[in-house]
Amino acid sequence: MRILDRRGILICAMTAMLAAASSHGAPAQADVGSPAPGFALTDSNGKPVSLADFRGKTVVLEWTNHECPYVGKHYRGNNMQALQKKWTADGVVWLTVISSAPGEQGHVSPAEANKLTADRGAAPTAVLFDPKGQAGRAYGATATPHMYVISGAGTLVYKGGIDDKPTARLEDLKTARNFVDEALTEIKQGKPVSVGFSRVYGCTIKYAS
């Protein structure tokens, strides 16, 4: 791995840990077992999208930053795209959310977002823009990728990391335990989600101040 890559990953990891530490003592947000916070955002095609639009459906929220090495691992390894395609084909709504503020790392234009989706072969239901960070803060999203699963009843049933391998190494995808895939499988089988929370890892979300 190049020195610059290594340095970037270390910086992302350190800032994510600092963000998590600074959130201690903040009001509890988006608790597992409670109603998921509502939101109304605009997608990459200029269409208004709200959580209420998908009442009765299982919804995945994926916070992203295409410049983050941890996000990059899941897209370079085709892990995120495979999950999107698998579960949207099964009726799950998958919303990719960009909370990076304008001028900050990870912020893109709608056209750039659509190009990223096409170039990576991604298949979310929609890519949503949260430039003021209102949705991200309501959910307590701190890093990318921060993942949430919402049941058809509108209850938050999972939040945390996508898996149990907090690294940017592609090879770790082979042995990772994917908590999002597990949660969606259990919901499909009519079972309660056995792991509702895990430690998030990734790059700190670059919110508007």
For the segment 126-170, what is each residue's pLDDT rounded down to a tens digit? 999 999 999 999 999 999 999 999 999 999 999 999 999 999 999
pLDDT of 24 strictly over 90: no
Query: Percentage of the chain surpassing pLDDT 70?
Result: 87
This prediction's pTM: 0.87
- The answer to whether the CB of 149 falls within 8 A of the CB of 102 is no
Q: What is the number of structural domains in the chain?
A: 1
Nearby residues of 137 by Cβ (< 8 Å), 6 or more positions away: 29, 207
Whichever domain contains 152, its CATH number is 3.40.30.10
User: Would residue 113 count as lying in a domain?
Assistant: yes
Residue 97 within a domain: yes
What is the domain extent for residue 113?
3-25+33-204
Q: What is the pLDDT of residue 15?
A: 42
Look at residue 209 and tell me if it is in a domain. no
pLDDT surpassing 60 at residue 12? no
CB 200 within 8 A of CB 20: yes
> Is residue 18 over pLDDT 70?
no
- Segment 50-71 shows an average pLDDT of 98
The CA distance from 176 to 185, in Å, is 16
Contact yes or no for 5/11 (Cβ under 8 A): no
